[in-house]
Homo-oligomer: A and B are copies of this chain.
């Protein structure tokens, strides 16, 4: 597999050869103070599988990743970040792209102030954690000058899956949205099941493992660049 990829990259072969693709993956970590933080249970598995699937098809993949315990897929260029703001900066810094696949579970909020010293327990009332909204990376990329031809988002939902996903796709301005119910397929698992939303309508993809889902999506990306279609 590695040899095949090496051969492809030398020959410029692969259906996505010459295409620059951004993939974001993993959680973001938002510091409260030097030791404490807010984060989420994203393992990065789905995003890494997608980066690998695109690279196998010859794409020049930039993987902007929160902290995860996963090896970098072959031929993928990985940029490590911690916070949502760092992730946004890294994405913009690497642009332009032909496609962007935003899989990272970006923290919607971060603490309004980061304490420079560890917050002490004073014995009085607990501190109130004031939050401020993080940059919306998917929306930023969907609306930026020099927008990628194809912008894909992921949505982790716990209820009203299709309704929340439809709203999110409209609001973010992305082309495709893949929505999964994280009460059924929990963060950190190896399998996934998604609704695939595009202008052409909604598809319910069957449950499969995350690498199969990655291949499935990568084939749709290949087809998009061949035909300009969502199917």
| Chain A contact residues, CB within 8 Å of chain B | 32-42, 69, 105, 107-109, 116-121, 126-133, 156-159, 164, 182-183, 187
Cβ distance A46 to chain B, nearest Cβ, rounded Å: 14
Identical chains in the assembly: 2
Q: List the B side residues contacting A39 at CB < 8 Å.
A: 36-37, 39
Chain A binding surface, main DSSP class: loop
**Complex A-B: 14 CB contacts under 8 Å:** A33-B158, A35-B41, A35-B158, A35-B187, A37-B39, A39-B39, A109-B121, A109-B127, A117-B158, A118-B157, A126-B130, A128-B129, A128-B130, A129-B131
CB distance from A80 to the nearest CB of B (A): 14
Q: Determine the chain B residues whose CB is within 8 A of the CB of A121 once the complex forms.
A: 108-109, 133
* A121 (CB) vs chain B CBs: closest residue: B108
A132 to B132, CA, bound (A): 20
- A82 CB → nearest B CB, Å: 11
Give every chain B residue within 8 A of A35 (Cβ-Cβ). Answer: 40-42, 105, 156, 158, 182, 187
* CA–CA, A130 and B157, complex, Å: 23
6 more A-B contacts (CB under 8 A) besides A33-B158, A129-B130? A32-B38, A34-B158, A35-B105, A37-B39, A39-B39, A128-B130
Residues of B within 8 A of A158 (CB): 33-35, 116-118
